[in-house]
């Protein structure tokens, strides 16, 4: 449904700067958030990555380019006239809001990453765009944007940026453009327990107790765990160190002995054991 007519109306949402701005993308993100059982707002980028789904913009750009390529290949004289008319219109001064100029602007965003997609030759002849290369370029840009998210999450006070860093540090796969759903989401596991693990991965688990007490701009080092008072409350503290979850570590002795980081922990092959352990820890957050 999200693709219906996207060749026409989708052109206004193809620029890199408006990746998550379209009402339909927001609606879809909301649906994904509900499907994953998350009520809090979490970053679009993290949400889509966790769901193994590309942003709608990717499919709209591909639909526009397929439409363009189809027009070029068409034998229909009317289509040919319309195509040349669009090229002529775009060439007129001040005509920056045409369909062709919008698609060209989206391709220029990709070209800024070292590609060379062109819709029209110097002689004003329409040129087809290779779809495989386009998809590859889009995925490469997605990977680069993840690579550009750097920093120490423990130094950040801005919560959305910290969520991105935490996800990248603990949960992002080596190749984010693979858009693979984590295995635990594809198995029949207890729903509440799965939701707790998803919350933790999306950075919306209610850790950082003193942060909630003092406000979101509390420096990370001052976000001391209110349950045990012995450390900064974050994902690692909750699962590995917090005294309030010591009983969980005793109850699930098979989860932790082999691992020392959250990144290693979530690779646990026994997903049932993993979600049960994380859920048991997460329940301590609300007690």
Calpha distance 15→112 (Å, rounded): 12
Residue 41, helix vs strand vs coil: coil
Calpha distance 116→253 (Å, rounded): 55
CB of 239 to Zn ion, least distance (A): 11
Calpha distance 189→24 (Å, rounded): 30
Which residues have CB under 8 Å from 159's CB, separation 6+? Answer: 216
CB of 285 to Zn ion, least distance (A): 10
CB of 133 to Zn ion, least distance (A): 50
Q: CB of 243 within 8 A of CB of 228?
A: yes
For Zn ion, give the closer residue by CB, 100 or 207. Answer: 207
For Zn ion, give the closer residue by CB, 100 or 242. Answer: 242
Q: How many Cβ atoms are within 10 Å of 168's Cβ, its own excluded?
A: 19
Of residues 225-254, those binding Zn ion (CB under 5 A): 225, 227-228, 242
CB of 167 to Zn ion, least distance (A): 22
For Zn ion, give the closer residue by CB, 242 or 262. Answer: 242
Residue 167, exposed/middle/buried by CB under 10 A (0-12, 13-18, 19+)? buried
Interface map 166-205 toward Zn ion (x if CB under 5 A): ----------------------------------------
For Zn ion, give the closer residue by CB, 228 or 272. Answer: 228
Q: Which of 88, 28, 80 is nearest to 58 (CA)?
A: 28
214 CA to centre of own chain: 29
β-partners of residue 126 are 120
| Total of residues contacting Zn ion (CB under 5 A) | 4
CB of 105 to Zn ion, least distance (A): 50
For Zn ion, give the closer residue by CB, 172 or 239. Answer: 239
CB of 229 to Zn ion, least distance (A): 7
For Zn ion, give the closer residue by CB, 54 or 212. Answer: 212
Tell me which stretch binds Zn ion (CB under 5 A): 28-36, 81-89, 100-108, 219-227. 219-227
SS (H, E, C) 45-95: HHHHHHHCCCCHHHHHHHHHHHHHHHHHHCCCHHHHHHHHHHHHHHHCCCC
Q: State both tokens at 35.
A: 């499907």
The number of CA neighbours under 13 Å toward the Cβ of 225 is 22
Quote the DSSP letter at residue 182.
Answer: P
For residue 137, state whether it binds Zn ion (rule: CB under 5 A): no
**Helices 131-147/56-73 angle, 10° precision:** 160
For Zn ion, give the closer residue by CB, 50 or 235. Answer: 235
CB of 245 to Zn ion, least distance (A): 8
Q: State both tokens at 32.
A: 């994904």
For Zn ion, give the closer residue by CB, 208 or 271. Answer: 208
CB of 164 to Zn ion, least distance (A): 24
Chain residues binding Zn ion by CB under 5 A are: 225, 227-228, 242
């Amino acid at each position: 449904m999200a693709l219906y007519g996207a060749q026409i109306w989708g052109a206004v949402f193809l620029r890199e700067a408006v990746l998550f701005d379209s009402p339909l993308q927001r609606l879809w993100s909301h649906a994904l958030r509900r499907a994953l059982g998350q009520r809090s707002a979490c970053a679009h980028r993290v949400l889509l990555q966790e769901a193994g789904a590309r942003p709608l913009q990717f499919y709209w750009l591909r639909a526009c380019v397929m439409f363009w390529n189809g027009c070029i290949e068409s034998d229909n004289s009317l289509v040919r006239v319309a195509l040349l008319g669009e090229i002529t219109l775009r060439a007129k001064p001040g005509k920056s809001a045409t369909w062709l100029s919008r698609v060209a602007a989206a391709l220029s965003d990709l070209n800024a990453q070292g590609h060379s997609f062109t819709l029209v030759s110097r002689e004003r002849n329409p040129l087809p765009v290779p779809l495989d290369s386009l998809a590859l370029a889009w995925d490469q840009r997605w990977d680069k944007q993840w690579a550009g998210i750097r920093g120490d999450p423990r130094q950040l006070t801005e919560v959305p940026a910290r969520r991105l860093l935490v996800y990248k540090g603990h949960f992002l796969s080596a190749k984010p453009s693979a858009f693979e759903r984590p295995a635990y989401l594809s198995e029949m596991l207890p729903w509440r327990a799965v939701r707790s693990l998803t919350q933790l991965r999306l950075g919306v688990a209610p850790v950082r107790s003193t942060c909630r007490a003092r406000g979101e701009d509390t420096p990370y080092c001052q976000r001391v765990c209110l349950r045990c008072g012995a450390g900064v409350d974050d994902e690692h503290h909750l699962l590995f160190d917090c005294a309030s979850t010591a009983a969980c570590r005793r109850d699930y002795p098979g989860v932790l002995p082999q691992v020392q980081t959250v990144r290693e922990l979530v690779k646990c092959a026994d997903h049932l054991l993993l979600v049960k352990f994380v859920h048991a820890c997460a329940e301590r957050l609300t007690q």
